[in-house]
Structure formats: structure tokens, C-alpha cells
Amino acid sequence: MRAQFVLKEIGIGLRRNLTMTIAVVVSVALSLTLFGAALLVSKQADSMKDYWYDRVEVSIFLCNKTDPKKDGCVNGEVSNADREAISADLKKMPEVDQVFFENKQDAFAHFKEQNKDSPLGDSLTPDQLPESFRVKLKDPTKFDVISSAFAGRAGVQSVQDQKKLLKPFFDLLTSARMAAYGIMFFMLLVAILLIINTARVSAFSRRRETGIMRLVGASNFYIQGPFILESAVAGLVGALVATGLLSAGYYFGIKRGLADSIQLLKSQLIGFDAVISVLPWLFLLGIGMSAIASFFTLRKYLKV
């Protein structure tokens, strides 16, 4: 009886305010989609960071004959003693994972490899390229430690963090996420205001029923339950719509849009499991927000 009674009341209530219910569902769906998108962007950023940070290194370029005679290079080309001191110091540092030494020949080979198709390397000789230490850090964000220890030291021409090259890209992802959160905030506000208003209209249109319920001694649970469940159902439908939008967005945006067209990116893109993993949050937020907003609204309107 109880469940049947409550379900019947919810159905009646939702249909009575159909237009308001649709407004609630749409606004909840949009805000949840933005929320999900923001979560996915940050997952995507993490996935790319994992991929790239594993591959980037800090390069300590040593002085070459041709370098201007200043800073670490006042004494011209790096001496054997300096080179060995740097190597020894690097290996002693706890932040350092691995160190490779790249001599002029290696650098030349690398350069040739990277510029196969251009005439750029034709006139180059190995002599013109600097030697360098390629340092892999245990924590790729600890670049500053290396930089402060080696920049300007005798024999060191420059310290370069490859991660810096990726920074603009990750900054872009962060801005995209922030923008999604920002718009989500306003959509969420709209959604909550709509939920509150719908609950209020709903309570008003059933004040006769609720008045009688109070008089015959129905508990708050019974009086408020249908209204709260009504909101929760609207929130649930909103979350379902958001799930659809997000899946479609994933399919057309990431899978079809990026992965299929840019093969290189394929291994760095988040999979559909990432979409699935954010869904519980969408449902929790959608249902929880609706139920809580109507609960607090009704507390004022349906006092015993």
C-alpha cells in the first residue's frame, strides 16, 4: 500500500507540473553534462600528463666551443673535470631517476633523425652541437631542483625542461575545465532555483491534501516524501539525459573526432570506461541535489 500510494502521488505530481518538470529535467541535465565534461577533461589531462611526463626529461646542455663566453661558459668548452663533477653530482641527487650522457655524435645522429626531410642538417657537423646530460626525474614536477643546482655552473650552458614545452597545452585543458565548472555553477544555480520553485508550486497545489494529512497525523515522512521523491525522480531523469549527452559527446568528440583522425593520440585518449566512471557522480549529484533542495523548501511550507 505504502509504495503504491507514494508512487501514485509522484506520478500525479509530476504530470500536474509537466512544464516545470521539463524545465527542471533540462537544467539538471545540462549542469550535470557540464559537470561530467569537466571531470572527463581533467581525466584526459591526467592521462596525457602520465603519457608525456614519462617521456619528457630535463636536459643539461654543456658548453661548446662556439658558445658566448659568459655565465657557466666563461672558460670556453666544458672541461673533463667539470663534466665528471656534474655527472657525479647528478647521480647523487635523490630526485634523479636516470642519467644518460649524450655526446656530440649522439646529438648529431639525433638531429639528423629528427630533421631527415629538411636540408637544415646538411651543413652541420657534430662539432657544432653541444654535449648534454639527459636526466629523468622520479617526479617530473621537480625540475626546479635540477635547474637551481646546475644552471650557471661551470661548464653548463643551459638547463632545459621539456615539460615546459607541454605547459601551454595543459594550461588550455585546465582553462577548458575551469570554464566548464564556471558554466556548470550557473546552470546548477538555475536548476536549484527551478527545483525549489517546482516544489513550492507542487506543495501549493496540494495544500488541501497536505492539510488533511497533517490533521490526521501523517508523519513528515509521509507528507514530504512524495514531494521529495518527485524532485528526486526529476533529478534522476536529468542524470539519465546527461548520461546520454555525455556518451554522445564522447563518441562524436573523442572517439570519432580525435582518436580516429589522429592515430598518434590514440593511446593517450581516455576510454569509455572513464565516461562510465564519472556517471555515479552525475547520478549522486542529480538525485541528491534535487532531493535536498526540495527537502529544505518543503520544511518551510509543510511544518507540522
For other proteins, the binding residues in 179-208 under the rule CB under 8 A are 208
For other proteins, give the closer residue by CB, 9 or 131: 9
Q: How far is the CB of 4 from other proteins (least distance, A)?
A: 9
Spatial distance between the Cα atoms of 50 and 48, rounded to a whole number of angstroms: 5
DSSP state of 123: G
Q: How big is the chain, counted in residues?
A: 304
211 interacts with other proteins by CB under 8 A: yes
Spatial distance between the Cα atoms of 178 and 129, rounded to a whole number of angstroms: 42
What cell does 257 get? 573526432
For other proteins, give the closer residue by CB, 77 or 209: 209
88 interacts with other proteins by CB under 8 A: no
**HSE (side-chain half, CA atoms, 13 Å) at 287:** 10
The interface mask with other proteins, positions 2-31, x = CB under 8 A, is x--x--------------------------
Angle at 86 between CA 80 and CA 91, to 5 degrees: 125
H/E stretch holding 282 reads helix 272-301
For other proteins, give the closer residue by CB, 192 or 213: 213
For other proteins, give the closer residue by CB, 189 or 212: 212
The interface mask with other proteins, positions 212-241, x = CB under 8 A, is xxxxxxxxx-xx------------------
- Where would I find the beta strands (DSSP E) of 85-198? 96-102, 132-137, 156-161
Binding site for other proteins (CB under 8 A): 1-2, 5, 208-209, 211-220, 222-223, 304
